[in-house]
Amino acid sequence: GQNNAPDYLKGLNPEQRLAVETTEGPVLVLAGAGTGKTRVLTTRIAHILATGKAFPSQILAVTFTNKAAREMKQRIGILIGEGNVEGMPWLGTFHSIGVKLLRRHAELAGLKSDFTILDTDDVVRLIKQLIQAEGLDDKRWPAKQFAQMIDGWKNKGLGPTDIPEGDARSFANGKGRELYKAYQERLQTLNACDFGDLLCHPIRIFRAYPDVLKEYHKRFRYILVDEYQDTNTAQYMWLRLLAQRPDGKPISPLEGEMSGRTEASRRQAGGTAPPSVASGDISPSRGEIGRSSAETRATVNICCVGDDDQSIYGWRGAEVDNILRFDKDFPGATIIRLERNYRSTAHILGTASHLIAHNEGRFGKTLFTEKVAEDDEKVHVHAAWDSEEEARAVGETIEAYQRPDKQGNRHNLNDMAILVRASFQMREFEDRFVTLGLNYRVIGGPRFYERMEIRDALAFFRVVAQGADDLAFERIVNVPKRGLGEATIRQIHDTARALRIPMLEAAAKLAESDELKPKPRAALREVAANFERWQKALETTPHTELAETILEESGYTDMWKNDRSVEAPGRLENLKELIRSMEEYESLRSFLEHVALVMDAEQNEALDAVNIMTLHSAKGLEFETVFLPGWEEGLFPHQRSLDEGGRSGLEEERRLAYVGLTRAKKNLHLWFVSNRRIHGLWQSTIPSRFLEELPEAHVEVAESGNSYGGYGNSYGGGSFASGRGGKGAGRQNPYGASRFDNVGEEKSGSFSNTYATPGWQRAQANRTEATDRNWGS
Ligand code: ATP
Ligand code: MG
């Protein structure tokens, strides 16, 4: 039995093992966070390779990030020994695999194989040209907005002729469709494509050239997809093309073989000897590959894993329905649920499960853990006066974790993460950690001060504070665009060098000479006058006020206000946060000094460092200790989701909260502040409704230290605070008359929540028993 199993299978639970060993036919693993879905995928690849069911090149595995792909490759290497794998599977994100496919068949999409991939800026510039060429006003019809529309269409796999009438009409007086078409043609002449094309071109090629598709049907015997709940329509179409026969039937073995195999797998999962790979196997063993390809039936076996509760990219076109209708798309699919969570303590899991149960549109799901230890800490909820205090308190908690505990263990910084809802929240933590000398790294995006808009703003400030800062000057002399071309800038350079003066001075001189054409001259004159005025104001105006003035008078704030891209509101938030952060310094100069220090802090992968990232980029990851700051209405759930009204935006926020909570293995700290500056205005805030949705049994509201004195009465009417008598009352039941009284399971110590669930997912007879047994407390 178990003893004969290869090492990589040992330690898997029976359901996981079934998911690994049911290699043939469609398989869906639909399971909650931390149940080992990703581990199943990795082990499944190892198993397919180790048993010789396929060559690496016959496996296609899709991960959500490139980082996840790298980690998976590494793990596979460890599982079956580096030496045992020649080559590697096609393993990467939809985009990276799309590039690989498209390079091979570029000519079928009208491209050459060395096509370039345009980034967002390129795309917008191109579209702007097209809009102008059409004689349209590009202020009324902004290129950014149209770029986003195109991206949305491509996420749905829609070409120019497929887009709905209404959509086509809504842009540029009904010219939407023509513009889209013109855009595609222009890309073709440029031998270029955008990100959406990396999926859409292959889809089109597969449809138009059945022979090509067939080639891939033969090649990819095994397809695996992680985070399936976040696939968008185009990704879904792409997958279906690869995984289904042209006649629409799923590519799976004959019925008889199927049931035989499933039977074998069951036996195996139950502990009997694994069936030999060769006997009756429809997949060729290593020696047969290539030789008998003519008779080999296309047998694509698809295994998708995901969690509908972790679908957090709806705003980017992801369709959670894709996972929910898997068994319709792939009839005869084996559906496997994993219920044991290996990641988190009972308190953490109980908290997360209880929260997500507040969503209506979901499948019921049971999760249990055997990780129950006497000294497990409850989930901590902390209050702070404002975000500065929040950052200070998080810093203190991190330092406390670094000190050795009773057993003498100390926590590594690497094992800790701060997950924020909005990127502007990072700034306060970064600043604090630099002051404390705590190493940190920002994952999935630039650090606060490295963001484009922040660097731009800082460049303005640097020139004001230090007129000779040529690098800064060069960065912003033509920001926002004022028609200063390369030639003019070169001229400024030359003058500066010839006269040995800073570029700003050189610019001022050129502005007064007749060496320049009238337009750039006027522009330079304005730049020079602006800086002169701001430099004078430096002595008389408070520096935060001046900073705001600079960003306004330079047109920089307006530039982002007029920008209709999705990133623009975030950039404006960041700029406001930048101004706010300056308040903590005496002068512009001391602030800039501080920034220079922060920027200099090493971002070294090998270094032991606290991880800071957004909740969105934390998907799939896990940490010993997790801090979740900013649980306030308007920030989390985010105001945009509340403005939308309706359930779906709010439910996506709640799923995001679930993702956040379930990243933690052992320690989990939530924070809310009473005052936060949002959109530049101080607001007294109300604790997030999500806090009220946490189960009392697993949560402890931290007793406030003296430093938090005085916030007791400041929560307004939030019922979260209704049990508080003020300072030091944190231990009392903070929920007031509990709305949790109705949640029966809570009392029996189980947090399973079963909602009306159609079809197959009802088949979980052992649910109650399993949870009760393992979770009785
Ligand atoms: P998420 O939904 O967050 O992506 P997941 O379902 O993909 O989670 P994994 O990341 O694969 O879960 O696993 C969570 C943790 O549990 C990992 O540390 C993993 O190594 C561990 N784990 C999974 N299965 C087992 C097992 N059978 N025995 C011991 N540890 C396990
Ligand atoms: Mg995972």
**CA-nearest residue, atom 4 of ligand 1:** 620
Q: Ligand 2 centre from 228 Cα, in Å? A: 10
Please report which confidence band the pLDDT of residue 575 belongs to, taking 50, 70 and 90 as the band edges: very high
Q: Please identify, by atom number, the ligand 1 atom nearest to the C-alpha of residue 12.
A: 27
Most confident of 79-83, 316-320, 379-383: 379-383
Q: Round to whole Å and give the CA distance between 642 and 648.
A: 10
Output the pLDDT for position 445: 67
DSSP for 696-739, written as a single string: GGGEEEPPP-GGGTT-TTTTTT-GGGTT--STT-TTS-TTSS-G
More confident residue, 681 or 220: 220
Residue 403, φ and ψ in degrees, nearest 5: -75, 150
Please report which confidence band the pLDDT of residue 363 belongs to, taking 50, 70 and 90 as the band edges: confident
**CA-nearest residue, atom 27 of ligand 1:** 12
705 pLDDT above the threshold of 90 = no
Q: Ligand 1 centre from 637 Cα, in Å? A: 28
Output the pLDDT for position 150: 94
Q: Round to whole Å and give the CA distance between 463 and 36.
A: 53
91, 61 in Cβ contact below 8 A?
yes
Q: What is the percentage of the chain residues whose pLDDT exceeds 70?
A: 80
**CA-nearest residue, atom 18 of ligand 1:** 343
* For ion ligand 2, residues whose CB falls within 5 Å: 37-38, 620
How confident is the prediction for the chain on average, in pLDDT? Answer: 79
252 pLDDT above the threshold of 60 = no
331 pLDDT above the threshold of 90 = no
Reduced to 3 states (helix: H, G, I; strand: E, B; else coil), residue 589 is: helix
Reduced to 3 states (helix: H, G, I; strand: E, B; else coil), residue 167 is: helix
Output the pLDDT for position 173: 80
DSSP for 195-225, written as a single string: TTHHHHHHHHHHHH-HHHHHHHHHH-SEEEE
Q: Round to whole Å and give the CA distance between 332 and 651.
A: 31
Please report which confidence band the pLDDT of residue 27 belongs to, taking 50, 70 and 90 as the band edges: very high
Q: Round to whole Å and give the CA distance between 436 and 439.
A: 9
Q: Round to whole Å and give the CA distance between 34 and 353.
A: 12
Known binding-site residue numbers for ATP:
31-38
Output the pLDDT for position 662: 97
78 pLDDT above the threshold of 90 = no
pLDDT tens for residues 510-539?
999 888 888 999 999 999 999 999 999 998
pLDDT tens for residues 95-108?
889 988 998 999 99
633 pLDDT above the threshold of 70 = yes
Q: What separation in angstroms does the CA of 631 have from each of 653, 722, 758?
A: 11, 17, 33
Select from 343, 367, 663 the residue to mutate for testing ligand 1; criterion: most ligand atoms less than 8 Å from CB.
343
Q: Is 358 exposed, middle or buried (0-12, 13-18, 19+ CB in 10 A)?
A: middle
Q: Ligand 2 centre from 621 Cα, in Å? A: 7
Q: What is the percentage of the chain residues whose pLDDT exceeds 90?
A: 46
Output the pLDDT for position 730: 31
556 pLDDT above the threshold of 90 = yes
Q: Ligand 2 centre from 37 Cα, in Å? A: 5
Select from 10, 39, 74 the residue to mutate for testing ligand 1; criterion: most ligand atoms less than 8 Å from CB.
39
Output the pLDDT for position 679: 64
Nearest CA among 383, 436, 455 for reference residue 610: 436
Output the pLDDT for position 606: 65
Q: What share of the chain is helix, strand, coil (3-state, %, to 5)?
A: 50, 10, 35
Does ligand 1 lie within 6 Å of residue 343's CB atom? Answer: yes
Cis peptide before 164 (omega within 30 of 0): no
pLDDT tens for residues 136-154?
888 888 888 899 999 999 9
DSSP for 321-381, written as a single string: HHHHTHHHHSTT-EEE---B-SSS-HHHHHHHHHHHTT-SSS--B--B-----TTPPPEEE
703, 415 in Cβ contact below 8 A?
no
Give me Rg for the CA atoms of the chain. Answer: 29
Output the pLDDT for position 226: 96
**CA-nearest residue, atom 19 of ligand 1:** 36
Q: Ligand 2 centre from 40 Cα, in Å? A: 9
pLDDT tens for residues 280-307?
222 333 332 333 333 333 346 999 999 9
Q: Round to whole Å and give the CA distance between 111 and 407.
A: 63
691, 672 in Cβ contact below 8 A?
yes
Any bridge partners for residue 67, and if so which?
none
Residue 701, φ and ψ in degrees, nearest 5: -85, 120
Output the pLDDT for position 752: 29
Output the pLDDT for position 245: 61
Does ligand 1 lie within 6 Å of residue 427's CB atom? Answer: no
567, two tokens? 């990133």
User: Average pLDDT for residues 556-572, to the nearest whole number?
Assistant: 87
729 pLDDT above the threshold of 70 = no
More confident residue, 677 or 592: 592
273 pLDDT above the threshold of 50 = no
Does ligand 1 lie within 6 Å of residue 754's CB atom? Answer: no
The lowest-confidence range among 46-60, 113-127, 566-580, 656-670 is 113-127
More confident residue, 656 or 645: 656
Q: Round to whole Å and give the CA distance between 59 and 76.
A: 13
pTM for the structure as a whole: 0.72
Does ligand 1 lie within 6 Å of residue 11's CB atom? Answer: yes
Q: Ligand 2 centre from 358 Cα, in Å? A: 23
Antiparallel, parallel or unpaired: β 440-442 and 116-117: unpaired
Please report which confidence band the pLDDT of residue 248 belongs to, taking 50, 70 and 90 as the band edges: very low
Please give the span between the terminal C-alpha atoms of the chain, in angstroms, as a whole number.
33
Please report which confidence band the pLDDT of residue 592 belongs to, taking 50, 70 and 90 as the band edges: confident
Does ligand 1 lie within 6 Å of residue 36's CB atom? Answer: yes
667, 377 in Cβ contact below 8 A?
yes
759 pLDDT above the threshold of 70 = no
Q: Round to whole Å and give the CA distance between 364 and 753.
A: 6
Most confident of 7-11, 235-239, 408-412: 235-239
Quick one: angle between helices 143-155 and 233-243, nearest 10?
30
Does ligand 1 lie within 6 Å of residue 339's CB atom? Answer: no
23 pLDDT above the threshold of 80 = yes
Residue 464, φ and ψ in degrees, nearest 5: -65, -45
775 pLDDT above the threshold of 80 = no
Does ligand 1 lie within 6 Å of residue 33's CB atom? Answer: yes
User: Average pLDDT for residues 727-733, to the nearest whole number?
Assistant: 31
Nearest CA among 284, 218, 224 for reference residue 19: 224
Q: Round to whole Å and give the CA distance between 505 and 99.
A: 48
